[in-house]
Structure 1
Amino acid sequence: MKLKTFISVCFLLVTLGFAAYLDSPYSFINKEYAYSTDEPVMAQPVEVQPSSDVPVLEEKLEKIEKVDDYIVETYQEYEVYKDKDGNVIKSEPTGKIDTLQYWNDQQ
């Protein structure tokens, strides 16, 4: 009985060790990938200008109401088109409305 559990525990440890080896960057599966921790990564930021054709989605506060003991804020989503200088050319509502309700503790 003890020999059977000892063999089972050894088999489990060998299996876990082999799985850890396969998961490591030094295994034969990952030999095509180069790993280096001693060299810093040199990345240059890329400046991308947003296109003026694509609208930006913004939510604007439409109204604030007091309902019972709550304050209800209603927001409307708009598609905002801007030119190259950041000036708003056109603003269209999308039809999506969000409401935020919270307790009025200043009564």
Structure 2
Amino acid sequence: MKLKTFISICFLLVTLGFAAYLDSPYSFINKDYAYSTDQPVMAQPVEVEPSSDVPVLEEKLEKTERVDGYIVETYDEYEVYKDKDGNVIKSEPTGKTDTLKYWDDSQY
């Protein structure tokens, strides 16, 4: 019985070791994709300013109600167009409404 248990544990360790090797960047599967720290980074951060033609979606609180021990807040979504200085040019509702319901613990 001890020999069978010893062989099972050895087989499990060999299997786990082989799986760890295959998952490592040094395995034969990943050798074309492994990168070392001595290679320079090719990506450069880019500062991109948002275009004034694309609207920003914002949700605005429309109403707050107390219903059966809960507070229910209703938010409407708006498309907000801004100029380059960040001033709002126009704001149009999209028709999408979200509600947030949470327990009113101020009663207790």
Work out whether residues 77 and 95 of structure 1, in 8 Å CA contact, stay in contact via their aligned partners in 2. Answer: yes
Instruction: State the match for 1:15 in structure 2.
Output: 15
Work out whether residues 62 and 74 of structure 1, in 8 Å CA contact, stay in contact via their aligned partners in 2. Answer: yes
- Paired residues, number: 106
Instruction: State the match for 2:28 in structure 1.
Output: 28
Q: Which segments of 5 or more consecutive residues in structure 2 lack a partner in the other structure?
A: none
Query: In structure 1, how many angstroms separate the alpha carbons of the residues matched to 2:15 and 2:68?
Result: 65
Instruction: State the match for 1:91 in structure 2.
Output: 91
Instruction: State the match for 1:52 in structure 2.
Output: 52
TM-score, normalization by structure 1: 0.74
- The percent identity for this pair of structures is 83
**Cα offset, 1:2, TM superposition:** 3.3
TM-score, normalization by structure 2: 0.74
Matches for 1:60-99 after TM superposition, within 5 Å = 60-67=60-67, 69-99=69-99
Q: Which segments of 5 or more consecutive residues in structure 1 lack a partner in the other structure?
A: none
Equivalent position SS for 1:52: coil
Query: In structure 1, how many angstroms separate the alpha carbons of the residues matched to 2:18 and 2:105?
Result: 61
Relative distance call for 1:16 and 1:67 in structure 2 (3 A) is closer
Relative distance call for 1:79 and 1:11 in structure 2 (3 A) is same
Relative distance call for 1:30 and 1:67 in structure 2 (3 A) is closer
Query: In structure 1, how many angstroms separate the alpha carbons of the residues matched to 2:48 and 2:28?
Result: 40
**Cα offset, 1:71, TM superposition:** 3.9
Query: In structure 2, how many angstroms separate the alpha carbons of the residues matched to 1:16 and 1:68?
Result: 56
Work out whether residues 60 and 78 of structure 1, in 8 Å CA contact, stay in contact via their aligned partners in 2. Answer: yes
